[in-house]
Structure 1
C-alpha cells in the first residue's frame, strides 16, 4: 500500500515537471539553442566582406521631427564615414518640427560645404517625409537613417557593397546597436537593451536572412534599390509601422530576397526610461499585427499555411504569448492540486537558471561574433551581469508585448501610446465597474 502511495506521488511530480516545462522549452529554449548553433556555424565559415572597388552615387534620407539635439552628430557620422562625400546626397526630410532644426541644418551646411545636403519640409508623419524625399533622390541606392543615432565608419560602404555583390537583392538591413550617450550612466534597461539588440541582430536577423525570412527592415538603418522602391506604393502614410509595411510590399510584389548585412552597423540612442520602452514595444507589436492584417489576403491563406514563415512567426510571437500567459497563471492551478508552494517556488528558480544558462550561451556567442577591439565588444565584456538580469528584462518585455496585442484589438493604434495612457484607461475601467456594482447593490 505504501509502495502504491509513493508511486502516485512520483507520477504527480512527473506530471508537474512535464506540464510546467514543456511550453517554455518548446516556445523559447529549444528554438533559441538551434538558432545559436546555426548562426555560429555559419559565422565560422563566412567569407570576409569584400571592399568596394567603385562607389556608386547614393541618397541618404534622414527623416526628422524636433531632432535639433541629435542631427549634428548624426550628419557628422556621415562625414566621418569611409564613403566618399562626393558620392552622397543627404536629404533631411522634416515633419514640421517646432524646434531649431533649421538653424542646425544651416550650421551643418556651412561646416561641410563639400556635402550635397538638402532640407525639405513635408506633411506630418515619417512616411510622408520619406516619400517626398524619395522623389527628390538621385542615387541608385536609397538608404534610410534615423536622426537619433550615428553610423559606424564603414557602415555605408558595407551595406552598399552587399547590394553590389547581390544584384538579386532589392533591399538589405543593417545591424542596430543600442548605445548610451557619453556622460549618461548605463542602467538596468540600457544594459539589457544592448544585450537584447545583439541577440536580435547578430543571431536572430542573421538566421532569418539565411532562411530568406526577414520580417522587417529596421527603419533606423536600411538600404533599397531605387528601382525596387518605385515598384511599390512607397511608404504607407496610414501605418504606424511603415518600415514593416515596406518590407512586406517588397516581399510580396518584387522578391523574397530581402537580406541583412551584419557588418553595416548603426548605433541608436538607448531607451531612456520604462515609459519609453513600453511605448516603443507596444507600437512595434501593434504595428506588426496591423501590417500582417493588411497583407493577410496575400500571405495568410491555407495554401501557404505550412510554408510561409509569416504564419509561423505570428503563431510563435502572438498565439504562444497567450499560452505563456496561461502557463504563468497556472501556478494557482498547481496549488489547488495540492502541490507544495515550496516546490512551486523552486520550479521558478529552476526555470530562471535555465534562462540564465541560455543568456550565458548567447553572451559567449556575441563575444565570438563582435569584431575584436570594437567598442561594442568592449562594452559587452564590461557587462557580464546581464546574464543574470536579462531573464527578468525578457519577462518584462513579454508583458509589454502582450499588452500591445490586447491593445491592438481594443483601440486604434497610435504612435504616442504610453504607460500613463494605459494606466488612465485601467483606472477609468475600474471606476466605471465599481460605480456599476454600487448601483446594482442599491437596486
Structure 2
C-alpha cells in the first residue's frame, strides 16, 4: 500500500513541478525584485521643454463611451496646448460623430480632429499616424479612460529613458463599472485582478529585463520618429499591437518598456462569451506574429537565452498540460488510482497556485503605492485571490481552443463564441453516435 501511494504521488508530483517552474519561479523573482525597488508616488515635470503629443483614438461605433474617453484626455494634467487629438473613424454607423462634436464644444482647450479612415482598427491607426505631429504619438481605445497623470508620466518616462522608443501603460478594469455591475460581477473582479497581476507583477519585471512581449493595444505610446521608421500597423493580423512591438524590437532593434504609473481604465468584460472570443483572438494574434518574425529562430535549446521561447512554453505547452490533466482526472479512477489520492493531489495543485496568487498579490500592492485609491480597492478584494486558480484554468482552456481554432480556421478572422462552438461540437458528437449505432447494427 505504501509503495502504491509513493508511486502514485510521484506521478502527480511530476506535474506539480511544471507550474512551479513556469509560474512559481517568476512570481518569486518578481516578489524579491519589486520589494527592493523604490516606487515614487509623485511624478514631477521633467526639466526642459515639454513635448507636443498626438493622441490617436480609433473609433468604431463608440457613441456610448467616446465622450468619457475624450473627457479623460482633456482633463489630464498635461499642458492642454501641447495635446492634439485625432479621432480616426473606421466606418461607424452609430452617433459617434455627434458625440465627438459635443466633446469638441465642451473641451475647447484641446485641439480635436475627426478623420475618416478605412474599416479596421489597424487601417484607422495608420491613417491617423500620417496626420500626427509632435514628439510622441499615443494610441488609446475609445472604450476606456486615462488616469489624470497618464500622459505626463509617459512623457516624463520618455525623457528619462532616451533609449526607449515605445511604452505600454498599465491596463485595469474600471472599478466604478465593476461596483455597478448587476451581472457577472465576480467574473469582472477576476479580470481586474488578472490585469493588475499581468501588468504590475509581471510586466514590471519584464520591462526591467527588456523582455516586453507585447504592448497593449488599448494604451501605448511611441516616439514619432521611431513610429515613422516602422512598417506601421499590420492590417493582415488580428494581433497588430504585438506585431508593432516586434517591429520595434526586431526591425528597429530598439527598446520597449512599461510605464506602470500610467493607467488606462477599460470597460470590464461583459460575460464569459466575450472573454472566450477575446482570448482566442489574442492567442491567434500571438501565433501569427511569431510565425512572421521568429518561426526559424525558435528552439528549445534557447529556453534560457530567448525569453520568447519561455513565453510560448507557458502560453501553449503549459496551457495544454493544464487542460489535458483537467480532463484526465476523470479517467484515472478506472485505472486504479485512489479517488482520495486524486482529490489530495488536486488540492495540492490548488494550494500551489494559491501561493503563487498571494505572491502576485503582494507584488501588485507594492507597485500600487503611487495610487492609494486604487491600492485600497485592490486590497479590499483580496479574497478574489482564492478564485484566481480556477479562473486561470478556464482561461488556459480558452487559450488552447484559440490555438486549435487558429490551425483549423486559418482563413477565418471572425471567432465564434463559446455557445456557438459548444452547439457545433454537440451536433458533431450526436452525428458520430448515430453513425456508430448504424455501423454496429450492420455488423450484428
**Same topology, TM > 0.5:** yes
Q: Determine the structure 1 residue equivalent to 2:76.
A: 81
The answer on whether the counterparts of 2:173 and 2:195 sit within 8 Å (CA) in structure 1 is yes
Q: How does 1:44-55 map to 2 (within 5 A)?
A: 44=38, 50-53=44-47, 54-55=49-50
RMSD: 2.4
Q: Determine the structure 2 residue equivalent to 1:240.
A: 238
Distance 1:193 1:22, change over 3 A: same
Q: Determine the structure 1 residue equivalent to 2:130.
A: 135
Query: SS at 2:364's partner residue?
Result: helix
CA deviation map 1:390-435 (0-9, x unaligned)? 1111111111111111111111352543223322431343244345
The answer on whether the counterparts of 2:261 and 2:370 sit within 8 Å (CA) in structure 1 is no
Query: SS at 2:253's partner residue?
Result: coil
Q: Alignment length, in residue pairs?
A: 437
Distance 1:304 1:368, change over 3 A: closer
Q: Determine the structure 1 residue equivalent to 2:169.
A: 174
Q: Determine the structure 2 residue equivalent to 1:409.
A: 407
The answer on whether the counterparts of 2:23 and 2:356 sit within 8 Å (CA) in structure 1 is no
CA deviation map 1:95-140 (0-9, x unaligned)? 1000001111111111122211000111110000000000111122
Query: SS at 2:164's partner residue?
Result: coil
Q: Determine the structure 2 residue equivalent to 1:422.
A: 421
So what's the TM-score if we normalise by structure 1? 0.91
Q: How does 1:13-412 map to 2 (within 5 A)?
A: 13-41=8-36, 43-44=37-38, 50-53=44-47, 54-182=49-177, 184-185=180-181, 187-297=185-295, 299-300=297-298, 307-332=305-330, 334-371=332-369, 374-412=372-410
Q: Distance in 1 between matches of 2:334 and 2:435?
A: 32
Q: Distance in 2 between matches of 1:300 and 1:15?
A: 32
Distance 1:45 1:158, change over 3 A: closer
So what's the TM-score if we normalise by structure 2? 0.91
Q: Distance in 2 between matches of 1:122 and 1:425?
A: 36
Deviation at 1:210, TM superposition (A): 1.0
CA deviation map 1:335-372 (0-9, x unaligned)? 34533211211221232222223222322332232126
Q: Distance in 2 between matches of 1:372 and 1:264?
A: 10
The answer on whether the counterparts of 2:27 and 2:360 sit within 8 Å (CA) in structure 1 is no
Greater RCO, CA 8 A, separation 6+: 2
Runs of 5+ unmatched residues, structure 2? none
The answer on whether the counterparts of 1:24 and 1:324 sit within 8 Å (CA) in structure 2 is no
CA deviation map 1:14-46 (0-9, x unaligned)? 5245234222322322332223323332x3377
Deviation at 1:387, TM superposition (A): 1.9
Runs of 5+ unmatched residues, structure 1? none
